Each structure stands twice: as structure tokens, then as C-alpha cells.
Amino acid sequence: MVYAPQMILIGSAGQNGGKTTLAKALIKTWKSSGSLGGVPIVALKITSVAQQGALCPRGGKGCGSCVSITGDFILEEEQGTSPHKDTAQLLKAGADRVFWLRSLYRSLAEAYTHFLAQIPPKGLIICESNSLREVVLPGCFIMLMNGPASRIKPTATRVLPLADLVVQNRGLQEDLDSVISRLQVRADETGGIQVHLGGE
């Protein structure tokens, strides 16, 4: 298990669960407030599959990106050229750098370590993933619930008991505000970022 106190990890119980919406709100909040004092914000989106050439985890043909995983993982940095992509939206929201990591489940720890080597050592990481929680212990893991328990994805079922905060995502601004108000992001004595979940 890799300890990542500088990470806010966002998972969701189902498809279109609001991970990117929450990630964008977090980025905008800290960028506009200037409370991080220039500490870089790095966003990471993870897509994990069971085997090489696997079909989209969402079902059907998808965008073809999962099938294109011919090695253990692929890490790409977002350049903002396709504005409708989730990663491009994170960049537009104010993240200093944004990455999309596509990985085999078995290679997630190695892939995450490779990602860390590409970014500043003392930044805030906002990550969208369920499966990463199985190999990384973040500063805070938020699980968004957006439907009945019978519809929960297998990856979400495995990590739901590990969530620090479970949020019933109703798509309301007040829900986003409530989550943001509980997150505490501070620099430690070495300048490294530490994320904690505060009280109500």
C-alpha cells in the first residue's frame, strides 16, 4: 500500500457518478482562493482494465482507449486539445497539470509510481478512481453514491468500506459545498501537502 497524504481520491458507485464535477469544484475552489500559496494542483484520471485488449469497463465499444492498452499501462498528459474530454475540463478548471492513466489492475501500483515521477513532489493530487484505493492510501477517499445498492459497480463494492466520506450525489451545489467545507488541505513542516477530513 502506497501512502499518499497529498491526495484526494474520488470514487463513484456507478457510471456518470459526478467524479469530474466534484474534482472541478475542488480545483476551482483552491485556485480561486489562493489558499494553497502557489502549490501545484495535479489532476489524475484512472481507467483500469483486467487484461490487455479488454473492452471498455463501461460496456460496449467505448472510445477504444482500453483496447489500446498493449503494455502494462499508458500515461498521457492532457494538452487541452479536446475540450469535451473529462481531463480537458480539469485543465480548464485550473489544474496545473492533468494526466490520464490507463492501466491493467495488476499494474496499478507500478503505474502510480511512474505517475509520481512525472510531477512535483509537493503538490496536491486530485484523482478520479475506484480501483486505485486498493493500492494507495490517500489523505481522503470520497465515494459518491448515485443510485440503489443493486447498481454499484464491482470496483466500488470492493472499496466502499474504505471510504472516509460517502456522499449521496444529488447533483446539487450544496452537496459540493458541503464536501469542500469538510476538506482540510495544509502544508506540513517540510512544505508537503497533507489532506484531512474535518467534522461537520
- pLDDT, tens digit, 9 for 90 and up, residues 78-121: 998 787 899 999 999 999 999 999 999 999 999 999 999 999 98
Q: Give bridge partners of residue 186 from the DSSP assignment.
A: 194
The pLDDT assigned to 102 comes to 93
Mean pLDDT of 17-38: 88
Residue 64 has pLDDT above 70, yes or no: no
The pLDDT assigned to 17 comes to 78
Residue 70 has pLDDT above 80, yes or no: no
Residue 39 has pLDDT above 70, yes or no: yes
Most confident range (mean pLDDT) of 67-71, 102-106, 134-138, 188-192 is 134-138
Quick check: 36 and 44 in contact, CB under 8 A? no
The pLDDT assigned to 71 comes to 81
Q: What is the pTM of this model?
A: 0.90
- pLDDT, tens digit, 9 for 90 and up, residues 103-112: 999 999 999 9
